[in-house]
Chain A
Amino acid sequence: MKNQLLFLRNGKVITGLVILGFFTLLALVGPWLSPYDPNQVSDALLSPPSATHWLGTDHTGRDILSQIIVGARGVLVVGLVAGVSATVVGVLVGVTAGFVGGIGDESLSALSNMFLVIPQLPLIILIAAQLPSAGGLTVALVIGATGWAWGARVLRAQTLSLRKRDFVEAARANGERTWRLVLAEVLPNLTAVIASGFVGTVTFAVLSQVTLSFIGITPVSDWNWGTILFWAQNNLALQRGAWWWFVPAGACIALLGMALTLVNFGIDEIVNPRLRSTGLHARSLRRRGIRPRVGFTPVVREVRS
């Protein structure tokens, strides 16, 4: 168990997870936490931050802080659902293509190549526009359905190189079944790629959804950070100098993206057992002035107690 939680000792991972945890909490209990109903109009029109409205109000007097808090759920749910669905499809297609080879590989590769060359955002807009209701889950699934190809491609390449390794061949010679070869021999070696692919897809999904909301594809009554930006843009917040309208939403998006990237860095440093010692002690290494490099072993003459 101690080993399983080792990655928690990495500073980047901790920072990323703390921010993620904060937003997750908002997503879970946001509606009960928000001081006002985000749709409730008041006569404090476009007022700057004050004691009653911490982040000010918009052009109809709705509380921005409440919109941000309530909007967190929309962003995270879409990110998570899109991330999971894209990763599942990517793993299925990629690993299968890499492992079976032959005609199966050819057709699956062709499929993912097709998805790779289609420009994603216009496709999402097209699909979303055709659907009767483009609510959160629909958008998430559309993003998932279009965003898996990159992961599949990387996983296929990695699987191809793993498939011919001696330990896999030995398991095959032992008469292990194919599903066991894939699950027990190949997949654990792909953990790092899958995990970082997942985090990358979540980032992409969050940005796509915010974009879609911002340009008004999704219903504007579904609160998420993109919707806030949509209202701010449509009501000339920038020209009117109402910075409190768009800065908090933008900052939240940037913060979430940063958190996901930090976790991704952490995954890279932790998953490779050989780099783990370096990754785990990055801070103390910096403090001691040690820069681990291949070919120039650090020399440290320090007095140890």
Chain B
Amino acid sequence: MSTGVETSPGVARDAGPTAEEPVLEVRNLSVDYGFGDDPTHVLREVSLTLRRGEVLGLAGESGCGKSTLAYAATRLLPPPGLITGGEVWLTGRDGQRADLLALSDAELRAARWRDIAIVFQGAMSSLNPVFRVEKQLIDGILAHRPRMGRAEARERAAELLRLVGISADRLRAYPHQLSGGMRQRVMIAMALALEPQVLIMDEPTTALDVVMQRQILEQVMELRERLGFSVVLITHDVSLLVEVADRIAVMYAGEIVETAPARDVYQRPRHPYSAGLLGSFPPLHGPRRELAGIPGAPPDLSQREPGCPFAARCPHVMDVCRTELPVLGRTAAAESGRLVACHLHTSLPAGKKLPDLVAR
């Protein structure tokens, strides 16, 4: 573990619009599923940087490794998940840097919630039905701040509920007395209880209707501006991401294939997969168009073939795509703040033009 601020080598620094210091840096993270001789390599050397105050969207189809990435980075992956390499550097408010994967159990336990908090996929059923909301909030706070008095913790719990737009008298409610949206907000309030620097939201609104989705996300974004935490938002709803995220990382088959500011991804996707993903959603503006979708299905991660994992579904596949794995690098036009893992941008045969789809 190192102390003091270091200039981060290793990961290519992409200067985005908010070129702030990184708060969470995932470097070359590899994850296997299965303890046997033949595990499935789900993540292969994935790197990702979350800057302070930023909303980073993780997008991709089901089973492409979005949740695996988030849970592996926080060491929450259940068995038979296994982290086989990489580092996850978290920079504290005081500039202290720590590798989450190298922390002892006690240190990790202390860092969770205080530094990184998660709102889980099934947040609505994460509340214990036999305890009042109040008890569940206070328990968590007191576990991390043992010196805080009960009355003070209760005061904090009430404040948290107000923060997410629930009146403080609901503290005495049992979970079944709250609506789905309210329970979700309670979970978010709980996640924010210790003022974490990073809030990971794993499809936090999937089970809710669109009106409630919007309300809750708007609230989180507003809180982020007030409290200054960073958000990793995992969802397959790209149009939602385009709206709320600062930056989007598109994942495919356990790899990040493109990262760029949200607006750029939306307007000018540079990876055929990003383009296909965006083509699968109705556009927010402009004329109506046919929804394209992406033919085929994601590859079986337990039987990886050499080359680009998207090659079999890619409309612009070239020979090199089937033999060599593309690495995350600059685009053909060398745009700033944007990385893409596609041979079209690096190994385009001379005399051939970049396809319109990714060159707009």
Query: Which among A292, A299, A300 is the interface contact of B79 at CB below 8 angstroms?
Result: A292
- Encoded as 1 (CB less than 8 Å from any B CB) or 0, chain A from 253 to 278 comes to 00000000000000000000001011
Inter-subunit contact A294/B79 (CB<8 Å): yes
Mask of A273-305 contacts with B, CB within 8 angstroms, 1/0: 001011011001100001011111111111010
What residue in chain B is nearest A282 (Cβ atoms)? Answer: B35
In contact, B77 and A297 (Cβ under 8 angstroms)? yes
Contact A298 B83 (CB under 8 A): yes
* Chain B residues numbered 97-115 whose CB sits less than 8 Å from any CB in chain A: 101-102, 105, 108
Cβ < 8 Å to A, chain B residues 76-102 = 76-85, 101-102
B58-71 contact mask (Cβ, 8 Å, vs A): 1 or 0: 00000000000001
In this assembly, does B341 line the interface, its C-beta being within 8 Å of a C-beta of chain A? no
Assess the B78–A299 pair: CB atoms within 8 A: no
Contact across chains for A297 and B81 when beta carbons are under 8 A apart: yes
The interface size bin for chain A is 20 to 34
Q: A304 contacts which chain B residues (CB < 8 A)?
A: 84
In the bound complex, residues from chain B placing their C-beta under 8 Å from that of A298 are 82-83
Q: Within 8 Å CB of B105, what residues of A?
A: 296
Shortest B75–chain A CB gap in Å is 4
In this complex, which of A284, A290, A292, A298 has the most chain B Cβ atoms within 10 angstroms of its Cβ? Answer: A298
**B103 nearest CB across to chain A (Å):** 10
A280 to B35, CA, bound (A): 9
- How far is B18's CA from A222's CA once the two chains are assembled, in angstroms? 88
Interface centre among A281, A284, A293, A297 (most CB of B within 10 A): A297
- The answer to whether A295 touches B76 (Cβ under 8 A) is yes
Given contacts A277-B34, A281-B36, A299-B101, whether A293 and B79 have CB atoms under 8 Å apart is yes
The 8 Å CB contact of B35, one of A278, A294, A297, is A278
Contacts of B78 in A (CB 8 A): 294, 297
The distance from the CB of B149 to the nearest CB of chain A, in whole angstroms, is 28
Interface residues of A in 82-105 (CB under 8 A from B): none
In the complex, the chain B residue whose C-beta lies closest to that of A285 is B35
Q: How many angstroms from the CA of A281 to the CA of B80 in the assembled complex?
A: 11
| Nearest chain B CB to A208 CB, angstrom units | 38
B84 and A290 contact, CB distance less than 8 A: no
Contact partner, A281, options B35, B72, B85, Cβ 8 Å: B35
Given contacts A297-B83, A299-B83, A302-B84, contact A290 B77 (CB under 8 A): no
Closest to B35 in A: A281
Is there an interface contact between B35 and A284, defined as CB atoms closer than 8 Å? yes
Q: In the complex, which residues of chain A have a beta carbon less than 8 angstroms from the beta carbon of B77?
A: 297
> In the complex the two chains form, what is the Cα distance from A275 to B79 in whole Å?
8
Cα distance A294–B78 in the bound complex, in angstroms: 5
Tell me the complex Cα distance, A293–B77, Å. 9
Contact with B along A111-140 (1 / 0, CB 8 A): 000000000000000000000000000000
Complex contact B75–A297 (CB within 8 A): yes
Q: Residues of A contacting B108 with CB < 8 Å?
A: 296
A292 pairs with B35, CB closer than 8 A: yes
In the bound complex, CA of A284 to CA of B34 (Å): 12
Asked if B36 and A299 make an inter-chain contact with CB atoms under 8 angstroms apart, the answer reads no
Q: How far is the CB of B37 from chain A (nearest CB, A)?
A: 8
Other-chain contact of A301, B72, B80, B84 (Cβ < 8 Å):
B84
Task: Please name the residue on chain B nearest to A9 by beta carbon.
Answer: B36
Could you say which residues of chain B place their CB within 8 Å of the CB of A294?
78-79
> A297, B36: Cβ atoms under 8 Å?
no
Residue picked from A290, A295, A300, A301, most chain B C-beta under 10 Å = A295
Provide the bound-state CA to CA distance between A2 and B223, in Å: 54
Say how far B120's CB is from chain A's closest CB, in angstroms. 12
What are the 9 tightest A-B residue pairs by CB atom distance, in nearest-first order?
A: A292-B79, A277-B80, A297-B77, A281-B35, A297-B75, A299-B83, A299-B101, A277-B35, A294-B78
B residues neighboring A (CB under 8 Å): 34-36, 71-72, 75-85, 101-102, 105, 108
- Beyond contacts A290-B35, A301-B85: 17 other A-B pairs, Cβ-Cβ < 8 A, are A277-B34, A277-B35, A277-B36, A277-B79, A277-B80, A280-B35, A284-B35, A292-B80, A294-B78, A295-B76, A296-B75, A297-B72, A297-B76, A299-B83, A299-B101, A301-B84, A304-B84
Residues of A within 8 A of B (CB): 275, 277-278, 280-281, 284-285, 290, 292-302, 304
Subset of 8 A-B contacts with CB under 8 Å? A277-B80, A278-B79, A280-B35, A280-B36, A281-B36, A297-B81, A298-B83, A301-B85
